Amino acid sequence: MQILLVEDTQRLAEALVLGLEEEAFEISHVTRGAEALASVSSAPIDAIVLDLGLPDCDGVDILRQLRRMECHAPVLILTARDAVASRVDALEAGADDYLVKPFAFAELVARLRALLRRSQAPRWAPLVCGDLELVPDQSAARVRGQAIQLSPRERQLLEVLLRRQEDIVSRPDLLRLAFGYDFDPGTNIVDVHVAHLRRKLRGSAAKITTVRGVGLMLTARRGSTREPE
């Protein structure tokens, strides 16, 4: 697996390159944000380990540019910034995981492997609930064959609900699985995106139900479920 390490602290970078190579990863190391963008444009990358305090720019800005470039490689943030606001900012910008320095190397490797497993898992099979269909790698869902455009967060949320349809999914699980938060950001992010989804799915047989005090559940109206083609 090809890993891009974006880290400007020389001693730490050298230790990470050595350790990750011993774990059988192939490592490309750069120290600046501009170099990271050039690396992603010139060669396939399986995952990115990204520091936020870079000499030429902020790592979150680089992250946003990577996502605008349609770079879908999982990104693990590695930084000394431990404030909740910094975590939220990075995760909202498209980060897949966030690890604060100082850290245990074994945990970094475990998190990196988990990200790679998720990104490499086969995800092409359509997910169906009634007349609603979502192909996970596509941004649009379909209701009775008509495309419905979704934002990246809406798509992630809908995918989680589709994979666990007929089951109640708790808000902590939704925060973790759909938004990448392993903590409560103290916002109504779930409610906002659920409201957007409900508007877009109006008229569909698929329905997002709130189970007060427990979580959310996606169901299809009785008699409307169809098998995937």
Longest CA pairwise span in the chain (Å): 63
Nearest CA among 56, 39, 55, 103 for reference residue 76 = 103
The answer for 145, left when phi > 0, alpha when psi is -120 to 50, beta otherwise, is: left
In contact, 187 and 179? CB cutoff 8 Å: no
In the chain the domains, ranked by start, together with CATH numbers, are 2-120 (3.40.50.2300), 127-220 (1.10.10.10)
Task: Count the neighbouring beta carbons within 10 Å of the beta carbon of residue 90.
Answer: 24
As given in the structure block, the two tokens for residue 196 are: 């957007």
Where does the pLDDT of residue 176 fall: very low under 50, low under 70, confident under 90, or very high at 90 and above? confident
| Mean pLDDT along residues 36-44 | 89
Instruction: Render the burial of 112-144: b for 16+ CB within 10 Å, e for the rest.
Output: beebbeeeeeeeeeebbbbbbbbebeeeebbbe
User: What pLDDT does residue 224 have?
Assistant: 46
What pLDDT, in 10s, does the model give residues 107-158?
A: 999 999 988 887 765 556 688 999 999 986 677 899 998 999 888 888 889 9
| Mean pLDDT along residues 35-51 | 92
pTM for the structure as a whole: 0.60
Inter-axis angle of helices 59-68 and 33-42, nearest 10 = 20
